[in-house]
Structure formats: structure tokens, C-alpha cells
A = this chain, B = another copy of it.
Amino acid sequence: MNDDSSTRIAAALRDWIADAAPGARLPSTRTLVEHHGASPVTVQRALKLLTTQGLVETRPGVGTFVRAARTTRPADYGWQTAALGPRPAGAGTLSTSLRTVANDVIALHSGYPARDLLPERLVRTALTRAARSEAAINRSPVAGMPELQQWFADELGSQSPTDVTPPAASDVIVLPGSQSCLSAVFRALVLRGQPLLMESPTYWGALHAATQAGVEVVPIPSGPHGPDPEQLDRAFEETGARLFYAQPTYANPTGAQWTPGLAQSVLDVVRRHRAFVLEDDWAHDFGIDSEPRPLAAHDDAGHVIYLRSLTKSVSPAIRIAAVIARGPARERILTDIGASSMYVSGTLQAAALDVVTQPGWLPHQRRTREALRDRRDLLLRCLREHTPQAHVEHVPAGGLNLWARLPDGTAVEPLADRCRAAGLMIAPGTEWFPAEPSGPYVRLNFSGPDPSGFGAGAQILGRMLDA
């Protein structure tokens, strides 16, 4: 471990390389060790440095060579344009909410909680433990580690009333993040070109997955109180759809949580049409004023396919989600997942299970709940004070976002551009609508870094709305 020595050896070798022919073989590690009186590790470090700088290249088991000078021509990929044909309809760029930004920007656009809302200590401990365990080396079963399947089943089962059979561990399929579940379920249960009912507005990632699956999205209007079961009933009737994608708990972006009555009505509609709901319980760990009430806890006849993710509540670097499905539908989904992702890293599965079963997990969740409440209320106050033009119809009882309606006629995308130029990132509501937006909305995330910037952010938004 002597960085100075390795830098010195690298410098000496750079001189040697300057005089050498391209392709010349460098002295062996042993020779360099003797010549420089350094350890093999130090010499390797010097060679790695030169490799990174593109001066040498290593051929495993053969040696290290002076890298030949390259002729770099401008590439012409024009032939691909003809070979690829037209771009698939709707294939788009990434959402605003995935953008990373400089530190001095006020970020209300992100979809991910800031670092201080994550259980960082638990995550580091869990990964360190996983590194020492069998999970660092073994291959996981395709459907997931049995203990983690059991945990996901228990989480949902603990909310089932006594007259509903809770899910079994074997109903659970563990996934590398929830996005791969969305595309797998859409592909597995909806034929190409066939209708898929989706709340409008709804999660942009689900819209993206639906586009890729080639299904026809049928929007079901949904607001601060969720969708209207009668409209849903008519849409099933008219389109013959067999799947409805919905977020009954703290919906993204509206923040709606369905009442038990609405949940029951939707379940009745779905049962009557012998159809499925894909329940995306993305914000299960982000209740503020209420507890999450999964729809799936009230179904044991295989109508609700339940998706739960730990990515946002544990760590975006431990991407673990699970889908719970029963009956033949589970087999259909597992076949698709087997062909598209095969199995999930056991290291990540072990670490995720470790985090959520530690004694520190509940206190962390309580702290997160308080922090989210403070942040939500602070952002609401700042908007009221500095941005009276923005109207938050519904204060969400959980989740990470406010959904604000702007004055009629506001062009939200140019507004977002003006805000960005002034140092504020917001997400234009257009990205959450499967068809034309029902009005000018922006989504403001209150879980990003540094809530002390909320006031300044609201001021910028107010100013730009007047500009």
C-alpha cells in the first residue's frame, strides 16, 4: 500500500514506453519488483494506472504490452438506420425524475428519497454480513431465496382479514427491481395490441413498460380519491380488457389512497369481469398520516397481482422487489421472468432481508415517517406562501410527492425549462399521462436532498409562473 512508490514506478515506465515500439512487451512483474525494490502489489498498482491511462494493455496469462497507437476515424452507422426501420411507437427518452443534478440545484423532480431518509447504517451492515455469507457465492433459485419469499408473503398476509387465505411463500417471485415486474406482467397477461386499463395520471415507468410490451393503453381517469368504479366497469365492458394497473396506496403522482369501500368496489368490478388488477404498492413503506391498506390483502382468488418494492425504502443500490401472484397466472409470469432475467443476485436478496428484519428497521421507519411529514408540510407551507398560483388539491397521507395544478393555460414543459435555468428542477406532469393531460400539473417531490431549499424553490416556481 504505497501510492507514492506506484506513482514513481508508473512515471519510470512512462519514460520507458515513450521510447518503445507499439506492441512491445513490458518487463515482467518480477523484474520490475527487483528493479524498483517494491512489492508486487505496488508494481501491479503502477501497471493498473498505466492501463487506465490507455498506455499499456494486459493480456491475461501472457504479459503487459505497450498499447499500439490507434487511428480513430469518424464512424458511419448510416446503414443501421435502414436496417432498424422506424422507431417503435411511443419509445421515448427517460423521465425527468431519473435525472441527476449538480449539488447547488434545488431538486424537487426526483423519484428517489434523499440519502438521509435511507437506513444507511443497516444497509452497510447487511451488505457486509452478506459478503461473509454463502449468499456472496451461491446461485439463488429462480423465484428467489425462500426466506425472502416468506418475508414478502408474511408482510402481505399480516394485513389479510381472517376470512382471507394469506399468500404462501411459494406465491412470491423475487425480482431485480419493480420495473422488470411491470414489463413481465404486461407481456405475460396482455397480448400485443390488446387493451390494458391504467389510471390516468399514473407512474411514467409503467407507461414506458406498457409501450414496450406493445399493448394498447386505455386511460381510466383517477384523481385525489382514486378511480370511479363505474367508469372502470364500463371500460372493462367496452374494451374486453383483462388487466387493470393501479396504485391504490399513495398513488404516484396524485397521492390518492383508496378508501376500503372503493377498494371493495374495484375488487367487485374486477371479479365480475374475471379480470386481474396489478397492484403496484410502491409506497408501502412511506405512510405518513395513515397505514397502507393493500388491495391484495382482501383477495385470495388470484385476481390481484401484488407488486412490492424495497428499492426506495432500503437502498437504490439494493434493488429488490417481489411480485405475489396465485394460480396459473403466477406460472405465466414466472416463465416470462425466467426468460428475461433468470434469477436475482443472492447477495442483494440476503442484504434486503437482513435490513428489514433488523431491530433497527422499525425505529428507522418511524423516523422516516416523521421526516416525510415535516418535509411534506414544509413544502406545502412554502408553496402557500410563495406560489399561490399552484393549487395542491389533495394533501397526500403518504408517499413522496405533491401533485400541484397550475393556472389553466400554463405550458408546463417550457415552465420546467425556465425553472431549471433558474436553479430549480421540477417534473412536468405531462410525463404521467397516458394520453393528453387533463390539465397543467407539476409533480413536486418532497423527499429529495436538503429541504432547506424548499422556500427558495417555491419562490423560483412562483416567479417563473408570473414570467
Contacts and interface: CB of A to CB of B under 8 A. Distances in A.
Contacts of A57: 154, 158
Nearest to A342: B179
Interface of A: 22, 40-41, 44-45, 48, 51, 54, 57-62, 67-73, 75-77, 79-85, 87, 91-92, 94, 98, 100, 112, 115, 118, 120, 123-128, 130-132, 135-142, 154, 158, 162-163, 165-166, 176-177, 179-180, 183, 187, 189, 191-192, 205, 208-209, 211-212, 214, 242, 274-276, 291, 300-302, 315-319, 326-329, 332, 335-336, 338-348, 351, 357, 359, 362, 365-366, 369
A45 B44 CA distance: 46
29 contacts: A45-B359, A61-B362, A68-B162, A70-B162, A71-B163, A73-B300, A81-B328, A84-B189, A94-B338, A98-B342, A118-B137, A120-B136, A124-B131, A127-B128, A131-B131, A136-B317, A137-B317, A138-B317, A139-B316, A140-B317, A177-B341, A192-B192, A208-B338, A209-B339, A211-B339, A316-B346, A319-B343, A319-B344, A347-B348
Contacts of A318: 136, 345, 347
A359 B94 contact: no
A79 B212 contact: no
Nearest to A44: B359
A257 to B, nearest CB: 16
A317 B347 contact: yes
B75 A327 contact: yes
A306 to B, nearest CB: 15
A124 B357 CA distance: 22
A52 to B, nearest CB: 8
B131 A127 contact: yes
A209 B127 contact: no
Contacts of A163: 71
- Residue of A45, A60, A68, A212 ringed by the most chain B CB atoms within 10 A: A60
A62 B158 CA distance: 13
